[in-house]
Amino acid sequence: MRWALSRTAISCFGGPVPQKPNRSSVEGSLLHALLERFARHAMQDGTEVFRPRRTLLEMVAGWARDNARNPRVDSKMLAGQVRLEEILRSFVEARPHLKIVERRRATASSSGKSGGVFEGPESWLRDPGSKLCGRADLISSGEIVDFKSGEQQNHHVEQIGFYGALYFAQSGRAPTVLRLIYTGTNEVREVPVLTLNELKLLLEEMRRRAAAAERQVVGGELPAKPEPGRCEYCHVRGLCDTYWRLLRHGGQNLGGGQSQIIDYAPSAAAKIESAALGVYVRDKFADTASVLHLPQEVAEKMGNDVERLRVIAVRPSTGTEGIRFAFTQSSEVYVRG
């Protein structure tokens, strides 16, 4: 469902829904790009010193320019919130783990199968037998390394195992090392490399899953699988009917690792009250009287049908008269047609 909604054309966006990056995702992207820039610099001839701080500042400015037309973020403000020192610290921690080799196509395997794996940073891996592909942070002499700027997650092991299967699909060989490096804590996790037979079985299973997903897309079967801790990071949850139905039926904390920031949709019992420069939506939230003030522009598009309204990332504040919703920097208002 997320895949389908991400490709939905929305008039106010002038096309598909753009991503909505936050500070953490921007910092992670910049760290990966800085490591890639350093690796490429190390492979070049010359004696010019690599200057990470200057390079990072140029990249931050470039990111702000590239995202200036994204209506979902203020790219200049978000770029100003980036923690430069944290990115540079993570870069220093990760740099010793970069085994720099000249970027080259891997040699043919002993089985005679052509080795089509490019070694170096940001290496694409593609399965010749399906549409499966992935991009590894670094491949060097058969070692696959993935840098993570956040906390350890179980799916990280599955992800790098997926890269290992793609490496096998392209080269006919097993990778020599699968390594996860967590730059925030300087932890290194070595993931066991599967045998050739295990890699073959994993690849076959991945191909079956990909084929099944493609059949679902062709048949219009697009299930949504809302889960706590995941929906809050979904950039198209404002369009997902399944998500909002669950919220309406008691799942108000579904999207929330941040207990003070919630998504809100008025109930059928909500009332609209005219006010200066907009309207108030009076409702009950968590069995407590609540109120949300909307500007006139939104009120005109919504009309009298409160159930057309969905609000992303508002802050509930409890007072003597009940709960008042306040907009945040991340707030978005959706009015369904």
CATH number at residue 264: 2.40.50
Instruction: State whether 202 and 286 are in the same domain.
Output: no
Tokens of 186: 């300087």
- The β-bridge relationship of strands 278-285 and 271-275 is antiparallel
From first CA to last CA, the distance across the chain in angstroms is 19
Closest CA to 95 of 46, 58, 41: 41
Do residues 194 and 279 both lie within one domain?
no
Asked if the structure places residue 32 within a domain, the reply is yes
Identify the band that residue 164 occupies on the pLDDT scale cut at 50, 70 and 90: very high
Residue 72 lies in a domain: yes
- d(C-alpha 179, C-alpha 160), whole Å: 8
Statement to judge: residues 73 and 141 lie in one domain: no
DSSP secondary structure code for residue 269 in this structure: T
Has residue 226 been placed in a domain? Answer: no
At 45 the pLDDT is 65
- Cβ neighbours of 172 (radius 10 Å): 17
Q: What is the pLDDT of residues 78-128, one digit of tens each?
A: 999 999 999 999 899 888 877 665 544 444 443 334 356 777 788 899 999
Q: Are residues 204 and 261 in the same domain?
A: no
pLDDT reading at 141 higher than 80 = yes
Q: Which residues contact 255 (CB under 8 A, 6 or more apart)?
A: 228, 231, 232, 237, 243, 247, 262, 263
pLDDT tens track for 206-223: 999 999 999 999 999 998
41 shares its domain with 80? yes
The enclosing H or E element of 167 equals: helix 154-171
- If one counts every other C-beta atom within 10 angstroms of the C-beta of residue 264, the result is 23
Do residue 28 and residue 76 come from a single domain?
Answer: yes
Print the domain residue range for 177.
120-218
**Pair 168, 206: CB distance under 8 Å:** no
Sheet containing 133-140: order of strands: 120-126, 133-140, 143-148, 177-182, 187-191
- Is residue 137 scored above 50 in pLDDT? yes
In a domain, 110, yes or no: no
Residues 81 and 138 in one domain: no
Give 16-21's long-range contacts (Cβ < 8 A, gap of 24+).
17/235, 17/236, 17/239, 18/70, 18/71, 18/72, 18/235, 19/70, 19/72, 19/235, 20/70, 20/72, 20/73, 20/235, 20/330, 21/67, 21/73, 21/78
In a domain, 229, yes or no: no
| 15 falls within a domain | yes
Q: Last residue of a domain, which of 170, 198, 218?
A: 218
Amino acid at 132: L
The verdict on 82 and 130 lying in the same domain is no
Same domain, residue pair 125 and 42? no
Report how far residue 128's alpha carbon sits from residue 111's, in angstroms, rounded to the nearest whole number: 16
Is the pTM higher than 0.95?
A: no
* Total tally of structural domains belonging to the chain: 3
Domain assignment present for 45:
yes
Answer yes or no: is 105 within a domain: no
Separation of alpha carbons 225 and 237, rounded Å: 11
Q: Which amino acid is at 262?
A: I
Beta bridge mates, 66 = none
Confidence at residue 111, expressed as pLDDT on a 0 to 100 scale: 36
Compute the distance between CA of residue 176 and CA of residue 94 in angstroms, rounded to an integer. Answer: 20
